[in-house]
Structures are given as C-alpha cells and as structure tokens.
Structure 1
C-alpha cells in the first residue's frame, strides 16, 4: 500500500479477498490507484495495511476498511469481504486520527484519545475484558467497533496503537499516550509485553504500564 502526498493511495500485489481495493480479487503487478476514495469524497491521511485487510483515516475523520472481513476485522457488523473501501458507519460519530491493523484486527484512535477495536479477540489483544453486554469472555471476536474502556481508565489521551500481525501466535498490543507512557496487553508468555506476569498467567487482558520512558 502506497500513500502519496496529494492524498492518493495505490496498491499492488496479491488481491485475495479484495484487499487491494479495486473492486476485484485480481492480483496487481504494478501500483494501481484506488479510485473509490474519489467516489466517497475522502482524502486519505493515514493508511494501515494488514495481511488480509486495510484501513484509511480520511481528512474529515471518517474511517474506511476493505479486504477480507474474517472475525469482523472490517468493522461492518459481519464477516463479509469488501473489495473496495467502505466507510465504517458505526464510527460515524467519531473523528478518527489514527488507525492500526494486524492480521484480522483493527484499532482506531479518535481525536479525543478514545480507542476502538474490532476483529479477532485471540489472546485478549483487543483490550476488552468482557463482551459488550458484560457477559462472555475477553477472547470474543468483535464484529463492529467497540470502545476499549480499559484504556479510558489510564486517564490520559492515547495517540498511537501498535499491534502484532499474527493473531494465532502471541498476539499483543501496545498503546502510547500523549505524555509518552506505554501500555501493553494481550499475550505475554514469551515476555513480549515487557511486564511481569504472575505464575501460570500467559496474557494480560487489561492494559498495564510498561516500565520505559519514551518522552
């Protein structure tokens, strides 16, 4: 995925699941302009490309996703594929400033520092301690954007999210705040979170502060 200074986005390579955004599943051997943004009147500002899907934040704060929709990673309330960029309507009241994609997971950061996530809930890497209705478990897949309430509890504005590409092997996530604090959650059995886990604990469902100064 390539983003040019004048807000055009090009894609090239494997077209499985429609992840190149050209309305088909055809492979592209040369960079090709994704024309759907002109149709939607969106000027892409931030581009994130996962292994099977991609996402864009427009200048107006709208979020578009496309590609393979497995586990709900596109945020449209289902697991359908989208072969061209489609606006995530569930975020219509949110002005996004940042987006990050993993294997089948997506995170969106708003202009006020709220974080939304959706997709595969493996290893608790979405940051939801329970399902939206208070029932279920933190490994549940999320088909539409859901506020990561555990990050609200840090009482600081989140500015960036970074996550692993793999959902099946040690999936974990980092959240960076405005003051340079780093929080981690997800799989931690190999020490990848940078925090201490109690005996027999293999993951962290809620964000925990990492002892590092990034200011």
Structure 2
C-alpha cells in the first residue's frame, strides 16, 4: 500500500510549491502458519517458494504478499494490501480503493465454497471487512453483509441496508461496529447497542467484549472467569458495564485477546488486565519463569555440564520467592523499558504486541510458534523490543495479532525522516 502525505511550502521568492511524500507500506507476518494463513503453503518447488513455506512455525518475520492480481472487466491490475484482519485459521487482506478482500488459510470443509480461499468476488467495492472462524463481514457504503464460510447458497446470512452519510461512512471504518450495534462472533450475528454508550470502537474476545465510547470511557461485558472484564472480580456480565478503575482517564484505543484486554490512554499509557498465565499482560508469570528455568536446565544437559545430571529437577532460585500474577482483575499500568509512548496495541490469544510513537515494536506473552518475532519459540513476561525491524531501519506503523500469529505494517525509516509532517 502507498501512504501519501503532502505539504505546502513557501519559497524565498514568494512562490508556493507542493511537496509530496509517498510511503511504501509493507506487511510482515510471523507465528502459526498451520493452514497457510500467514504464508501460503506450496505444493511443489517453485521460484515463489520461501524458506517459510509449508512451515507450521514461522519464527522469522517474513514479508506477506502485499499485492495480488485481480481481474476487473477483463483487465489485470495490481491491488495493494491496505489492512489485515486475522482469525485463528485465516487471514483476510483488505485491498485498497474498494477493490475487495483476499482470503488465505483454512479452505473449509465445503470444497464447493469459493469464499474460503482467494479473491472474494462478492467483496468488490467494500470499504472495510472483518473475519472470524465462521464468517466474514463486508461493509459497503450502503449496506453491511455477513457471509458464512461454509454456506453454499449464493447470498449473505445477514445483511442490512444503510443510508450513505458522512456519519455512517466514518462508522464503517470501525468494524465490528455497525449502525446501532455490532457483529458478534456467533449467531445471532447482529447485536444491538444502546445509543447512550456512544460507541467509537469495539473489540471482540472469544467470549467477552470491550467497547470504547466517544468520551473515552471503557465498557466490558461477557465472560469474566479470568478477570478479563477488569471489574475486580471473576464474574460475568450480560450487559455493558463501565470499567470503573479507568473512570476519569480517557482512552483512545482498546483490544481484546483470548482472556485479557488492553487499552491505550489519551496520554499514550498502556493498561492491561485479565489472565497472565503465560505473561500476556507483561507481568511476572510463574509459567514463564518455570519454562525459562527448564530451558536453562536443558541447555546445561546438552552442554554436558558436570553439575547437571539427567533426571535432576531445575534448582530453586531467588525467583521462586517472587510474587507472580496469574490473574489481574483490575486494570494495571504497564511501563515499557525504556519508557515510551504507545500508539497501537493488539492482543492475540495469549500474547500481546504494541507499537511506540517512535515506530518500535514490543511483544510479550506466549511464543511457542514464534509469534513474538524474536526469531525463537520462547515465551516472555516482559515486553521486549523486536530487533528485526530496528536492525533493518523499518518503522512500524501498525500491528494486528491473530490468535497465534502477528502481522506488522512497516515503512522505511528514511521515508519517515524525509516526510515534512
């Protein structure tokens, strides 16, 4: 995708000139690739085959195809990738200029379905799109459609016509929000929302929801068994309830993971809450520390350390006296080291990623499939900078976490530095 910015400048002799800066945005992916949703599986050796093809674990950030060929009125054209949406087994690529969407990953049970893989013909002209394991949503200027991946009938399972307007057009960029409600992960797909909530954006976990209002207030509801609602308890809520611990602290972005939530304040601080069993909150985790000690023990065995014998348990250390957090039922302020401002955050099933205003990517949590981007399969309960992008002078602009993988949008730092903005 090309990102364009302009600047009007006055010369010494009184003439104006227009400075145009074009950013070429690229998308990288890493983590779980079991269905080819990150990098398409290759049946035979071809020139397009990469080292990551057919791998379940892609531990090195790898360029995702940013361009696909589509056919419009018999003419071939290049459609640049604008945004990525990810579920556990599929990746939805939203193309620019209303060209439509492209699906990669699990092809589904029904081999007759033409919506499970490749370009989605029904999506031509859509302004936004989102997907889950069972369906995908298309937002057009005048309507919203929900399509079932496995439905063979030629038609959406739910649709609604809307009146084109400035207000409606803005709401289309914030799926799963739709006029007067939102699209859920399970039937009934459409769920109404009270107008008094003034919903600005909304994120869905498997069984819980987090909503950001126009005033910066945060509401949550759904399952609360792991503290993911942020109300200080493990109880569930059937209706939206304000997160009182954040009252008076305006927020500007929210994200929902498998059993945890994150939000960014208007002052670029990051708040986290919910389950921390594998460090997905960036707080001390017993599971992570235990795994780290086991890894050190295994490495000592492989190096034939005379002080370590097969069958021995890892030795106890001072870390065993540390206070670990399994569930954080109230929002907690998370500081990155060094301290920095956060501009974007995304939650996976059990990992989290954040982008700083300086364009650096930090990740933490479960890393079994390489989804943390550190080119290993280790988990971490401390936010760590992904050096891959820094080393290549790439400025991270956006982040999208799938359940077990991560997608990152970047531009070259020199392009950012040349920008007049």
> TM-score under structure 1 normalisation?
0.76
Gapped runs of 5+ residues in structure 2? 1-174, 287-320, 397-410, 412-421
2:181 aligned with 1:9: yes
Cα drift, residue 76 of structure 1: 0.5
Does residue 207 of the first structure (1) align with residue 394 of the second (2)? no
Q: In structure 1, how many angstroms separate the alpha carbons of the residues matched to 2:273 and 2:184?
A: 25
1:103 corresponds in structure 2 to 258
Match of 1:136 in 2: 323
Task: Quote the offset at 1:53 in angstroms.
Answer: 0.2
Gaps of 5+ in 1: 15-26, 166-170
SS at match of 2:197: coil
CA distance in 2, matches of 1:93, 1:136: 30
Q: Which is greater in Rg?
A: 2
Q: 1:145 aligns with which of 328, 331, 338?
A: 331
Using the alignment, how far apart are the partners of 1:96 and 1:32 within structure 2?
Answer: 24
- d(CA) in 2 for partners of 1:192 and 1:115? 20
Q: Which residue of 2 aligns with 1:172?
A: 351
1:108-123 to structure 2, matched below 5 A, reads 108-123=263-278
8 Å Cα contact 2:246-2:331 kept in structure 1? yes
Match of residue 221, structure 2, among 66, 81, 93: 66
Deviations along 1:49-90, one digit per CA (max 9) or x if unpaired, are 110000111111100000001111000011111111110000
Q: How far 1:202 sits from its partner (Å)?
A: 3.1
| Partner residue of 2:192 out of 30, 33, 39 | 33
Partners of 1:76 and 1:45 in 2: CA distance: 21
Q: Does 1:52 align with 2:52?
A: no
CA gap of 1:11–1:188, structure 2 versus 1, over 3 A, is closer
Distance, in Å, in 2 between the alignment partners of 1:208 and 1:196 is 12
Matched position secondary structure for 1:90: helix
Structure 2 counterpart of 1:163: 347
8 A contact 1:57–1:64 mirrored in 2 = yes
